[in-house]
Amino acid sequence: MTFGIDAIAFDIARLHLPIKTLADARGIDPEKLEKGLGLVKMTLPDVHQDTVVFGANALTKLITQNHIDLKEISRIYVGTESGIDSSKPIGSFLVSLMEQKFGEGSLSHCDTLDITFACIGGVDALHNCLDYVRLNPTKKAIVVTTDIAKYDLESTGEYTQGAGALAMLISADPRIISFSGEFAVSTKGVFDFFKPYHTVDKRDINGNENNEPWHDVLEAEIEIHKDQPVFDGQYSNQCYTDRTKEAYFRFKEMTNTKGSLHESWEALLLHLPYAYQGRRMFPEIYGLDAASPLLTGNEEPSEYQSKIKEIAKSEAYRDFVNRKLQMAETASSLIGNLYTGSIFMGLLSALSQFSKNGADITGKKFGFLAYGSGSKSKVFEGTVQPGWKEAIDKTQLFDKFGESHEIGFETYLKLHKKELKSSVLPTTNEWALDRIEKESPNLKGARYYRWAE
């Protein structure tokens, strides 16, 4: 019996800003972003959209497109680093909204929770649900990844923004891809990228020295949480490389793989904060694990780095990128960073293109190299199943990108600063944030959603 992903659906923000528009406004050479990083567009949430909306839209599509009987679903686990509440998980919102649409009590038997570990939280949710279904082969689970990647204006991460969600049905005998039981892990506690609570002295806001109440805040310090992270780009790239490399070779040892591990995979799926991150990170692993190793690991640091650069520019490595990595990058170029959903969007992107090209990949293995800041990597592999093409074609991935609405730079700034009071696009056939309670003391801050026909 096999276990893995039986069906998949997605929801992506329908607004986008061309990377060239952003580059021109910021005085950046567009080719640096387009050809250097592989960026074409970045998607942005509209006023009525948040991570609950994206997750609910993806989950609704998964259920309706695949005629899922909700009685068969035992758990809905959410991977996210964009939670909207410090206590109430996105999963509880999703259960409530699905019952609003498909019937009161239809998911009351269902377990749900959110898993947060930066961009690897979705893989952690998958790992957990796979273990559950292996122990309970008649049960099914759903993994939802939903995030909004938002960075400070004029920061070095600004051009990697994106927004959206994926929902995946996890079952025995899956149609799309099955996973082996081996997951190699590398973990180290670091501060390469994080979203801390900031504090501001209340008297700096209201000028009062006596700590009088201010908007119901009694404390002298006011906590502020920003969606935008604190990060060190170069250090984060190094952590990404170090964790992934360690997990990669642990997986090779775990599976007793002889020869080059990456050559045993038809495609490699990596976390892509920007489209070309994987190809820019992988030369070191490629050099250490080539059929004839190009690196020994014993070189002097300067010589080692020089060799890595040579590998990245080599014809053999460029061919490797075209064969193994490129098809997973295409969707990322048109979306931006999806945080927890990035690696799964890479899977959907690759499978969609294999299908379009008429490739027969049934029985082929895919390698997954996941990363989350803070930091952790997981490396695992999956085998493509006979029903993959029919299941993937339902998603119409690249057809949906053509429906995206281009916005100008001024609209982008207003959305980023939350200055717009109404949505750019009308809400149709989707979930929408209806209101946030501001008056009732027992419900202040409660978020209410509606299905817009």
171 with 201, same domain? no
Three-state DSSP class for residue 341: helix
Task: Give the end of a domain, one of 225, 246, 270.
Answer: 225
CATH of the domain at 113: 3.40.47.10
28's CB contacts (< 8 A; 6+ apart) are 22, 159
- The residue-averaged pLDDT of 416-433 equals 96
Give the angle 289-320-362 at the CA atoms, nearest 5°.
95
Confidence (pLDDT) at 313: 96
294 with 207, same domain? no
Bridge-based pairing state of the strands 193-194 and 230-231 = antiparallel
212 confidence band (pLDDT: 50, 70, 90): confident
265 with 170, same domain? yes
Give the tens place of pLDDT for each residue, 426-450: 999 999 999 999 999 999 999 999 9
Cα separation, 163 vs 147, in Å, equals 6
Cα separation, 106 vs 99, in Å, equals 6
pLDDT, the chain, mean: 96
Task: Give the end of a domain, one of 225, 244, 270.
Answer: 225
Confidence (pLDDT) at 38: 97
204 confidence band (pLDDT: 50, 70, 90): confident
247 with 205, same domain? no
202 confidence band (pLDDT: 50, 70, 90): confident
278 with 387, same domain? yes
255 with 398, same domain? yes
Single-letter amino acid, residue 232: D
Whether omega before 349 lies within 30 degrees of 0, making that bond cis, reads no
- The residue-averaged pLDDT of 390-418 equals 95
Report which of 343, 398, 404, 331 is spatially closest to residue 370, judged by C-alpha positions. Answer: 343
Bridge-based pairing state of the strands 197-201 and 221-225 = antiparallel
Give the tens place of pLDDT for each residue, 169-196: 999 999 999 999 999 999 999 999 999 9
59 with 207, same domain? no
Report which of 83, 180, 66, 76 is spatially closest to residue 125, judged by C-alpha positions. Answer: 76
Cα separation, 94 vs 111, in Å, equals 11
210 with 253, same domain? no
Half-sphere exposure for 402 (CA within 13 Å, toward CB) = 4
Q: Is the pLDDT of residue 208 over 90?
A: no
- Enter the tokens of residue 408: 């100008």
Task: Give the end of a domain, one of 167, 202, 225.
Answer: 225
Question: Phi/psi at 418 (nearest 5 deg)?
Answer: 60, 45
Q: pLDDT above 70 covers what percent of the chain? A: 100
| Boundaries of domain holding 207 | 194-225
211 with 353, same domain? no
Q: Is the pLDDT of residue 213 over 90?
A: no
200 with 188, same domain? no
Give the tens place of pLDDT for each residue, 64-119: 999 999 999 999 999 999 999 999 999 999 999 999 999 999 999 999 999 999 99
In b/e form, how buried is each residue of 122-137, taking b as 16+ CB within 10 angstroms? bbbbbbbbbebbeeee
279 with 206, same domain? no
Burial (Cβ within 10 Å: 0-12, 13-18, ≥19) of residue 360: exposed
Q: How far is CA 223 from CA 117, 140, 197, 198, in A?
A: 22, 40, 6, 6
Give the tens place of pLDDT for each residue, 225-284: 889 999 999 999 999 999 999 999 999 999 999 999 999 999 999 999 999 999 999 999
Chain Cα centroid distance, residue 394: 21
- Enter the tokens of residue 450: 């509606």
Q: Is the pTM of this model over 0.85?
A: yes
Provide the number of structural domains found in the chain.
2
CB atoms within 10 A of CB 302: 8
- The residue-averaged pLDDT of 365-386 equals 98
Three-state DSSP class for residue 453: coil
158 with 11, same domain? yes
